[in-house]
Structure 1
């Protein structure tokens, strides 16, 4: 039993499970908006809630484990990654493969029980999640591809609740894509020298720290604009001024994030983990309160 719990903890460390907080609030935001549009209520039912959570968690588990497996040859010489369970030898490749396959099957099975469109999209989604980390070997677009992987969460919310891809979820997908790409650029500054040394195509390695900070800020401006467009798309039907206030709060958080990173790169982890985790939760809370208020 002790061995099981040790392996379980190693798996959670491998996939950094606590970072699921980034995408889940946007999945739920999309689901409650979709439910309001389709059923005139924010509550979408226990079936959608349970299957949505299982799909989100299994998809992220699949993506992170695939990423770790694909990047072993890169991570093994990176001091920042030395303590990862797959690099230190705590978890072998066989265990990671089993974990990947198990989560893929769980995701596909749950998608089947959601609706036909979810099932049809399950394999393409897994393909996108599996290949995103390969982009860093040949394209600086890797940051946007990662952002799109998280941006799939709002689209999934629309598919789960409405059985279709509604335009509001596409707009929210774009906002999450640029938000994620923006903070991933800041996070990637830590590996700038290593990426240059190994020939990886991250934006910091290709264009330097100053350009990375500017591009990250531009991406976050786009994220805020798409959040505003998202609210405008369902204005008066589902959302209103409370959601606008929430977006203003999120914009301030992003400004603070850039300020602390510019002043000291040692604060990158604080900006990446803490502030963005708060932002996603705050976004969801304001959307929920707005829906309940109306």
Structure 2
């Protein structure tokens, strides 16, 4: 039993399970808003709630597992990542492959039980999620690919409810894309020298810290803009507008933290962005009820 518990903890560390807080709120935001449009109620039922959770978890586990599998050589040469389970032997390559396959199949099966469009989209979604691991080896657009990967969450949410893709869900997704790409740029500041040494293509290693921080600010300005457009096109109310304002304040605070001290990157990355998603979710929840 102790060995099983330890292995579960190793896999949880491998895929950084606690970071699911970034994607989950925006899946359910889209599901709630779509449900109001279709059913007149924000509650979309227990079945879709459970399937939504499983879809989000299996998709993220697949993406992170695939990334850790592909990055074994890179992570071993980075002082910040050399103690990860995919490097130090706690999770073997064969175990990672099994984990990747199980979660990919799990995602496809869950999508099948949601609806036909979700099932058809599950295959290109998995392809996009896997492509991030390759992009950073030849293009600094990898940050955008990561943003797109998480930005698919709201579209997946609305497809689950309506089996269509709405304009407001696309705008919400673009906002998420810029949000994730923006904070990934800040997080990547920690690895400038390592990326240069290993020949990896990140925006910080190509353009330097100052330009990276400026690009991140532009991305986060776009985040607020597209989330505002989402609120307008979805005919949401006061609390949805408040969610956008609060997000703008929190993103500004994130940049203030980084500008003052690069040692606070972890705080800015996880704490501020984690709370941002949760606060945004609860304000939309209030707005839809």
> Which band: TM-score by shorter chain?
over 0.9
How far, CA to CA, are the matches of 2:168 and 2:47 in structure 1?
22
How far, CA to CA, are the matches of 2:167 and 2:229 in structure 1?
11
- Structure 1 runs of 4+ aligned residues shifted over 3 Å read none
Q: Post-superposition shift, 1:291?
A: 1.0
How far, CA to CA, are the matches of 1:44 and 1:172 in structure 2?
19
How far, CA to CA, are the matches of 1:105 and 1:198 in structure 2?
33
How far, CA to CA, are the matches of 1:95 and 1:206 in structure 2?
35
Task: Report the TM-score, using the length of structure 1 for normalisation.
Answer: 0.97
Q: Post-superposition shift, 1:197?
A: 1.0
Counterpart secondary structure, 2:90: coil
Determine the structure 2 residue equivalent to 1:125: 125
Q: Post-superposition shift, 1:5?
A: 1.2
How far, CA to CA, are the matches of 2:71 and 2:37 in structure 1?
42
Counterparts of residues 44-193 of structure 1 (less than 5 Å): 44-193=44-193
How far, CA to CA, are the matches of 2:166 and 2:123 in structure 1?
20
1:30-65 CA distances to partner (integer Å, 9 max, x unpaired)?
000000111111010111100010000000000000
How far, CA to CA, are the matches of 2:158 and 2:83 in structure 1?
38
1:95-126 CA distances to partner (integer Å, 9 max, x unpaired)?
00010011011101011000000000111111
Determine the structure 1 residue equivalent to 2:224: 224
Determine the structure 2 residue equivalent to 1:252: 249
- Match 1:276 to one of 257, 273, 276: 273
Where structure 1 has 5 or more consecutive residues not aligned to the other structure, the ranges are none
Q: Post-superposition shift, 1:177?
A: 0.1
Q: Post-superposition shift, 1:210?
A: 0.3
Q: Post-superposition shift, 1:166?
A: 1.2
Q: Post-superposition shift, 1:282?
A: 0.6
Determine the structure 1 residue equivalent to 2:239: 242
Task: Report the TM-score, using the length of structure 2 for normalisation.
Answer: 0.99
Q: Post-superposition shift, 1:86?
A: 1.0
How far, CA to CA, are the matches of 1:40 and 1:34 in structure 2?
9
Where structure 2 has 5 or more consecutive residues not aligned to the other structure, the ranges are none
How far, CA to CA, are the matches of 1:121 and 1:244 in structure 2?
31
Q: Which stretch of structure 1 is more off in the superposition, 267-276 or 245-254?
A: 245-254
1:149-188 CA distances to partner (integer Å, 9 max, x unpaired)?
0000000000101111111111111000000000000000
Q: Post-superposition shift, 1:274?
A: 0.2
How far, CA to CA, are the matches of 1:10 and 1:190 in structure 2?
24
Aligned residues: 289
